[in-house]
Amino acid sequence: MELVAIQINAGSDWEANRSRLAGLLLQLPSQRPLLVLLPENVAVFGCKNAIQQAAEPLGDGPIQDQFSQWARDHGIWLVVGSMPTRIEGSARFHATSLVYNELGERVAYYHKLHLFDVDVSDEQGRYRESDSYAPGEELCVVDSPFGRLGLSICYDLRFPQVYSELRAKGADILLVPAAFTRVTGQAHWQPLLQARAIENQCYVLAAGLYGEQGARQTWGHSMIISPWGEIERCLPKGEGLISTPIDTERLADIRRQMPVAQHARFSAVRRNK
């Protein structure tokens, strides 16, 4: 069983992004089963007009059909980091992560909980995701051949409570698709990812956008991190993919030898037992 993170420089044109993704998917390892994570905003990344044009009702639309077809054609579990989905009666959208199995069936989805409304010392300066998006309300953990997958998106990474709750719900692999800015990514991306892996004794599979999208600069540095906090693979720059086998026996050994979930005095894991 292999974990794969794909890194891409996505823009506001879905057709251009689709062409680049199709080429990257042809580079996948031959092993199966394969879990493939795409970055946040992988369908479109741009202004509100681009988001409006690409947004689809959850479960219905040509962009979602394409992701389903790719999962089926390549025989992979495919996790779309995020794409905009419509909210009935609202001018805003959800940033939605979609999980497809190897048959192309959508088996789970997750609406991003935490919206990036911050000021950053880069060329764009001001980020207000809440202008276009509404926050989700629920966590999601889904069964898979690789273990239980805990879903999150980008800015969620700064909220450790999210991941302790995912661990309490049985997560073995924490998925972190992202479009971290270059400034915040250089400062915090790697230590946050390693902390979430170590705290929760989970694999972390993180796929990032990379490059320049107008005034915005994204950090890349897609990573796969072990439950012990080791960086097993990293792609600092450019487009491409990284992969590594998942070692379920080592995951179990780490949790058995240092049972932090059982030792925690103030813990979501303890509350849910």
- The residue annotated as part of the active site, out of 2, 56, 112, 129, is 112
- The residue annotated as part of the active site, out of 56, 129, 140, 154, is 154
- The residue annotated as part of the active site, out of 2, 40, 129, 165, is 40
Q: Is there a contact between 117 and 135 (Cβ–Cβ < 8 Å)?
A: no
* 3-class SS of residue 27: coil
Separation between Cα atoms, residue 191 and residue 26, nearest integer Å? 31
Q: Is 47 a catalytic residue?
A: no
Taken as a whole, the chain contains a residue count of 273
Q: Is there a contact between 107 and 101 (Cβ–Cβ < 8 Å)?
A: yes
Tokens of 217: 């600069």
CA dist 241 → 4, 27, 48, 84, 245 (Å): 7, 8, 28, 23, 14
Separation between Cα atoms, residue 273 and residue 114, nearest integer Å? 26
Q: Is 40 a catalytic residue?
A: yes
Amino acid at 253: D
Q: Is 112 a catalytic residue?
A: yes
Catalytic site positions? 40, 112, 154
